[in-house]
Amino acid sequence: MKKSVSTLIFVLAVFSAFAQEQAVYSQYQVFPVLINPGYTGFGDNHQVLANARSSWTGFPGKPTTYTLMYHGPLGDKLALGGGFFSETAGDVNTTKMMLNYAFRFRIQKAMIGLGLSTEFLNRKADASLLNDLNVDRNDATLESLVEGQQIFDASVGAHVLYDDKFFVSAALPNTIRTRLDEVAVDDNTSNSSGGHYLFQIGYIFNMPNQNFKIIPSLTMRQFRNTPSQIDINVQGRFLEDKLIAGLTFRPSTDGSAVCLLGTKINQFQLFYSYDLSFSNFQRYNGGSHEISVAYNIARKAKVTSVTPSDK
């Protein structure tokens, strides 16, 4: 009986993961480009970012994701980025190729980034899943997964930083989303752009005399086929970012919390976070772990030629 209950929980959890095509990250506070194309090249430096996340550790078929990204400026106004995403959840593997484009400009004290992300997603289930007695072989969605789904997706986003203190960020995932395969399954793919959003607002309290910053923020998000969610975040940065700590509380979906620790050493950044849920499902797993490593390359300064008249 216990094995049957665990199997049922596994099947429900995995199919819930299928419905949520947007990747889940807890470290978007320190790497906003993970969720918002408007942040592409916003820091005016080149960055290579590697992220790994293991959700529901210790649970059979737990989701595991890997993300590798690059983004940086292309001149004073334009920025480009690209990346690769891979997720394994149970018997289903999802891979995604991403390209980001952004336009950056300044209006008085406000720095603004407007971005577009285009994605090609391939999702496929292992054929052995059809032999599992716990699933319905005649389920059209399952058959479509075994055949393989290819989806083109585009998202838009904006990030605004005013006076290096107040920031607001917004993204609209699945703005354009269409199936590229020929599997005859009606999943409302072509009409999925409504009601999906991500909005964040926050403030940077900089205390240079004490050499630390406090950054509170609030995030609201609604993704395809998932409940809406609110994140209450606070982040502390000490000793010129040599020590970074953060805490996130999610009162929705039975409640959960995220603890974040990180550091910056020269051009390298290293972060680790742990997610703990307050729901009954936490009894069946060891929480979620996420780690990110980033390498920053400063943008080359413009070389100004010196003429005899300038001497």
Per-residue pLDDT 10s for the chain (311 aa) are 444 444 444 444 444 444 455 678 999 999 999 999 999 999 889 999 999 999 989 888 889 999 999 999 998 899 999 999 999 988 889 999 999 999 999 999 999 999 999 999 998 888 776 677 666 666 666 777 777 889 999 999 999 999 999 999 999 988 888 887 765 555 554 444 456 889 999 999 999 888 899 999 999 988 766 678 899 999 999 998 899 999 999 987 678 999 999 999 999 999 999 999 988 888 888 899 999 999 999 987 665 444 444 54
pLDDT at 202: 97
| Residue 253 confidence (pLDDT) | 66
Sign, CA dihedral 138-141-146-150, equals: positive
Report the C-alpha gap between 157 and 38 in whole angstroms.
Answer: 5
Give whole-number Cα distances, 39 to 92, 104, 123, 188, 272, in Å: 30, 9, 27, 29, 21
pLDDT at 281 (0 to 100): 83
Give the separation between CA 28 and CA 159, rounded to whole angstroms. 13
* CA-to-CA dists, residue 103 to 41, 153, 293, angstroms: 9, 20, 26
> So where are the chain's domains?
2-195+273-299
| 266 Cα distance to chain centroid | 25
Instruction: Note the pLDDT of residue 12.
Output: 44
Q: What integer pLDDT is reported at residue 184 of this predicted model?
A: 52
